[in-house]
Amino acid sequence: MEALSNAEKIRKSYRELLADGLPHSRQELFSYANRFADAGVRYTDGMLTGALRSLVTNTPDYECMERGTYRKRNREAPPEEAPALANAYIDILRDTLKKAENVISTPFHMLHLSEGEREKLARLEACFCMIAQTLHQIED
């Protein structure tokens, strides 16, 4: 029998902790995995993050409920109601706008952009405006 890779060992720990179906924070998951690591082994944040990401993205049984909170899905329960799903998407759009506002550029930098780059930025600006308008309409 082949030995498990570190990523497989970490995912195994995550599955054990998440088996209760309750939400668990990223830090809880990291601590749990390190607690049950082989003697003398300490997993790096990169290893722990990568294993968590692959567990959630490659396995339909696990989900990220909100930033930094994970759980095992209850397959017997009815799918989440539409309002919860809509709220999740609204949060994503708000976060997108917030990140876009954090991008800073000087006017002098804009003078040196190619026409193609200026067109891209104009399209992106239109997209952000559309997102803001959509959120405004939804939230009214």
The residue-averaged pLDDT of 12-18 equals 94
Beta strands in the chain (DSSP E): 24-25, 62-66, 69-72
Question: What's the CATH code of the domain at 43?
Answer: 1.10.10.10
With CA atoms as reference, report the closest residue to 137 among 100, 99, 86, 78.
86
Contacts with 131 (C-beta within 8 Å, 6 or more apart), sequence order: 93, 96, 97
The residue-averaged pLDDT of 19-26 equals 92
Number of domains, the chain: 2
Residue 96 lies in a domain: yes
- Domain boundary, last residue among 17, 48, 72: 72
Same domain, 47 and 89: no
Calpha distance 47→10 (Å, rounded): 8
This prediction has a pTM of 0.54
What are the DSSP calls for 84-120, one per residue?
Answer: HHHHHHHHHHHHHHHHHHT----HHHHHT--HHHHHH
Q: Residue 19: what pLDDT?
A: 93
Calpha distance 114→111 (Å, rounded): 9
Q: Which domain holds residue 86?
A: 82-139
The residue-averaged pLDDT of 119-137 equals 91
Same domain, 113 and 68: no
Same domain, 68 and 11: yes
Same domain, 54 and 101: no
Mean pLDDT of the chain: 86
